[in-house]
Structure 1
């Protein structure tokens, strides 16, 4: 059962990577990267549950926080850059 769930999460991660590399716009690529990070958090939590190591959940929470902060930082950077280009 867990092998099937793990395979499904990995398949979703592969599809997300395809979207990240072939996304039509920059924001599609950023959101695909965020989605990939979220699926990584799910995979880390799943592996922690399967192996019986609850400390993996702490790692997953830390990774989720880093994923959120980096996505917000990247979006702000590009929105600031776009507003400066429009002003010039």
Structure 2
């Protein structure tokens, strides 16, 4: 196993990944405020959550091969970049 030069960057990326995944579990806290603030229906808010879960599952399924081929570091950086864009 080759030595990794920047362990702190990997650790920071892992923390960022876990924080962004945690936003999925905190979604229910935002449901009522989104409905009240924007006047959306419950169905519209639930559809948004459904899309997030769908793409979470699809990305896990399709990026599994990429992780096996390139290791976890590059996909981790990619996921972190995409998660930062959603905020």
| TM-score class normalised by the smaller sequence | 0.3 to 0.5
- The answer to which structure has the higher helix fraction is 1
TM-score, normalized by length of structure 1? 0.44
